[in-house]
Structure 1
């Protein structure tokens, strides 16, 4: 089972409202359970799939003001409180914005957690270097439009769209997202001896 615990580390004066809105918005993503608001800055939810974890983490990394804990508790007998507990344990009190921390509930698999966190660190770097134009372009392609359709929507040429995607690190994002997905799926399976 997979869970995410995120802590707002931004400077909003209305942080409680922002955290509430964020919890609600993230809960609308496919495969994402209801995000519970814990106090003023923290939200936590059990997530149905590795792909949904990737989507939530990417959204939080793109915002840049959240510290993110991923809890991975493989097995069919795992309870939601155990998964949430692993996510909370991943997120230390000193957790920094834009960082992903991962905790495996299974002994001897800490290296997998480290690899997942490292993959998201690289993705976070790509996302933070993006311009507004790059964010617009990647958002449209991520939503399912092809480059021609996205270029038309933005009122630019296909060549300009291609250049925006290249400058935004779209190829690196898609490769990193795929890697994170596979690592999460592998980590969420029970190792057979």
Structure 2
């Protein structure tokens, strides 16, 4: 299992952004959808590394979140409310989000396979740096391209020329993103390796 815990940065001086983040992440395929855990925090559970990567990068692009990803076993059945969940993945996500508050690109990964978690963290940090520096126009075009849309179709959707869309995608660093996402998914999946099976838990 993979747990994402995100903590809003500077929440004491900013509007509450939890509901907006829940709406942003809601369409992804969660086992337990993003839930407010404490005033300015949210947490979600998935068994799909691609969902976790998509969520982490969406939060980093938003620019207001420290993101922790934890992998490993959890107690089953999962409770209806994410904040009531228990298990190593929840504990790892908590440790990760606390660590994320002290680094330049605020994302950290903790998992049963520490080496794979560290490599997943490294590529997510690089991708986070890229997506966090994008302009609004760059975010718009890359969001469309990441759905599998062609640059020509994305240009039509945005009402700009193909050349303009290509220039925005290039400025946004999109050319390296698909491969980077695929590597992050592979490494995060590798980090989600439970130790010896425990009763009542699942990966």
Which category of TM-score, normalised to the shorter sequence, fits these structures? 0.7 to 0.9
**Any residues of structure 2 matched to 1:85-104 within 5 Å, and which?**
85-92=91-98, 95-96=101-102, 98-104=105-111
How many residues align? The count is 187
For 1:23 and 1:145, locate their aligned partners in 2 and report how far apart those are by CA, in whole Å: 25
Whether the 8 Å CA contact 1:74–1:187 is kept in 2: the answer is no
Whether the 8 Å CA contact 2:71–2:92 is kept in 1: the answer is yes
Q: Structure 2 regions of 5+ residues with no counterpart?
A: 79-84, 197-203
Q: Say if 2:153 is the partner of 1:152.
A: no
For 1:98 and 1:25, locate their aligned partners in 2 and report how far apart those are by CA, in whole Å: 20
Change (3 A) 1:180 1:162: same
**Secondary structure, aligned partner of 2:56:** helix
Whether the 8 Å CA contact 1:33–1:48 is kept in 2: the answer is no
For 1:78 and 1:117, locate their aligned partners in 2 and report how far apart those are by CA, in whole Å: 28
**Any residues of structure 2 matched to 1:44-193 within 5 Å, and which?**
44-73=43-72, 80-82=85-87, 83-92=89-98, 95-96=101-102, 98-104=105-111, 106=112, 109-190=113-194
Change (3 A) 1:13 1:133: closer
Q: TM-score scaled to structure 2, two decimals?
A: 0.80
Whether the 8 Å CA contact 1:64–1:98 is kept in 2: the answer is no
Per-residue CA deviation, residues 69-105 of structure 1 (Å, 9 max, x unaligned), is 111105998975112222112222771484111111x
For 2:97 and 2:74, locate their aligned partners in 1 and report how far apart those are by CA, in whole Å: 22
For 2:75 and 2:165, locate their aligned partners in 1 and report how far apart those are by CA, in whole Å: 45
Distance apart, 1:128 and its partner CA: 2.1
**Secondary structure, aligned partner of 1:91:** helix
Distance apart, 1:5 and its partner CA: 0.7
Whether the 8 Å CA contact 1:75–1:189 is kept in 2: the answer is no
Distance apart, 1:132 and its partner CA: 2.0
Q: Structure 1 regions of 5+ residues with no counterpart?
A: none
Which of structure 1's runs of 4+ aligned residues deviate more than 6 A?
A: 75-79
Whether the 8 Å CA contact 1:54–1:177 is kept in 2: the answer is yes
How large is the RMSD of aligned CA atoms in angstroms? 2.6
